[in-house]
Amino acid sequence: MSSILGFVQTIVPFLFVLGVLIFVHELGHFLVARWYGVKVLAFSLGFGPKLIKVTRGDTEYCISAIPLGGYVKLAGETAEDKPSGDPTEFLSKSKWIRFQVYLAGPVMNIALALILTTVVLTQGADVPLYRSAPPVIGALAADGVAAKAGVQVGDRIVRVNDTAVETWDQFDLAVMPRANREIELAIDRSGAPVSIILTPAAEGRFDIGTIGVAPVLRPQVMFINPNSPGERAGFQLRDVILAVNGETGLGREGIISRIQKSANAEMTFTVERTGAPQALVVTPELVGEIGMIGMQISAGETRRVEPGFVEAARMSVDETWQSSKAIGTTLAGLFTRETPVNQLMGPVAIAEISGATAQLGWVALLSLMAMISLNLGLLNLMPIPVLDGGHIAILAMEGLARRDFSVKVKERILVAGFATILLLMVTVIYNDVARLLR
């Protein structure tokens, strides 16, 4: 029974996410085609046998059995359709109009990513401060790759290979795709340049590159229960914990461990509030067999972000642009071999992530949808025949050549594109199966 429930919790969010993204993509093609008077013969979510279909006007709307895509069928779309020259046929329209029809699908996915990110940002969030801070090493895993290679606490990582890294986010993006592949770290160690070559280890089912380092983290008070020992002692939200009974450098787990062992015994906390340190004395209460002070403590400092709609929209544009650059680098890396193909995810992995994310709530699911929608939009703009970007590239080449390519040339181009997409599909499905077996 539990396995059936788990399957349902995975497949329903997956179908929801994929269905919305495909619908929005194909809706873009559909609306622009209709705007320019192109006859639309079919609008399908999915491929293969049609499960549900209904005809309205000239268009058949249907849901098909294989949910891994969709299509809009236009009248006279290809030479194989034997266009008659009717002005409602796709090939009767100018290259500029056909360009807009092809572009509309990816643009709709990117627009959806912007909208969803804006909605997510308006909900507010506690943003870890270290993400936008310089990548200065605060801790090392004793048996980690970095420690063994000679990286030290306090080192400031300047570059990963030839890529400058100014924040922890940039550092993570540079290291995560390079599991089991040698990299060079350029380090600033107390003003002296140091170069260290190491190989990130692969972590988790998705082979995420990691070198076993952590930022400088200072635990912070995130929530205080009313009438709790913490509230009576004078703790306030956002207090940063510097020391406990004079002991500095403690992480979240260390602080909690000492609280639990100190029931009914006074403890002196040194906290930083508005930039100034002060001492607070608290006596943990015995709850069950452990001491508690009624506070939630985060591992590191955060800042609360609660933008209005206009500010959220501005932040969404910036975040989407940064994500687009990262995705572009990843896609380009497929051709330069900088992006390992074993990290590419197929439908099984996306379904698994969708199910897990859905259990975190609708905000997390919308955030995942925004990320996948942006990926889908940019992927479709790649100049690979069969994809929208491939059709756009062919139109551009025909425009530069000032003549239309022959049917035979286009067929060869499309066959090459189909072979590329098929190879990509085989690769991601192989990756999914390999992860399941592991």
Dump pLDDT digits (tens) for 156-211.
Answer: 999 999 889 999 999 998 898 888 889 999 999 999 999 999 999 988 777 788 99
Return the bridge partners of 139, or none: 214
Residue closest to 427 by CA, chosen among 336, 352, 344, 335: 344
pLDDT of residue 341: 66
Of 110 and 328, more confident: 110
pLDDT of residue 155: 94
Q: Please report which helix (H) or strand (E) contains residue 137, including its range.
A: strand 137-140
The single-letter DSSP state of residue 131 is: G
Q: Of 76-85, 190-199, 237-246, which range is least confident? A: 76-85
pLDDT of residue 69: 81
pLDDT tens, position by position, 284-314:
999 988 999 999 999 988 888 888 889 999 9
Which parts of 256-399 are beta strand (E)?
A: 267-273, 276-282, 285-287, 290-292, 295-298, 302-305
pLDDT of residue 339 exceeding 70: no
Measuring CA to CA, how many Å separate 192 from each of 12, 157, 162, 188, 435? 54, 12, 18, 6, 42
pLDDT tens, position by position, 361-404:
888 888 889 998 998 898 888 888 778 888 898 888 888 877 87
> Tokens 């994310």 label which residue?
357
The sign of the dihedral angle between the CA atoms of 22, 24, 27, 32 is negative
Q: How far apart are CA 377 and CA 382, in angstroms?
A: 9
Structure tokens belonging to residue 143: 């048996």
Altogether, the residues listed in the chain come to a count of: 438
pLDDT of residue 213: 93
pLDDT of residue 4: 63
* SS3 of residue 127 by DSSP: strand
Mean pLDDT confidence for 91-103: 91
Cα torsion 126, 128, 132, 134 to 10°: value is 160
As to burial, measured by CB atoms within 10 angstroms (0-12 exposed, 13-18 middle, 19+ buried), residue 192 is exposed
Q: How far apart are CA 262 and CA 245, in angstroms?
A: 11
Mean pLDDT confidence for 72-82: 78
pLDDT of residue 212: 93
Which residues are known to be catalytic?
A: 26
Q: Of 55-69, 130-144, 239-253, 339-353, which range is least confident? A: 339-353
pLDDT tens, position by position, 276-290:
999 999 999 999 889
Residue closest to 376 by CA, chosen among 110, 120, 119: 110
Instruction: Report the Cα 388 to chain-centroid distance in Å.
Output: 22
Give residue 438's pLDDT band: very low, low, confident or very high (50, 70, 90). Answer: low
Structure tokens belonging to residue 110: 């990117």
Q: Structural domains in the chain?
A: 2-36+93-124+369-437 (no CATH), 127-216 (2.30.42.10), 220-300 (2.30.42.10)
Q: How far apart are CA 175 and CA 159, in angstroms?
A: 11
Q: What's the chain's average pLDDT?
A: 86
Q: How far apart are CA 164 and CA 167, in angstroms?
A: 9
pTM of the model: 0.77
Asked whether 210 and 203 are in contact (CB, 8 A), the reply is yes
Per-range mean pLDDT, top range of 66-70, 235-239, 419-423: 235-239
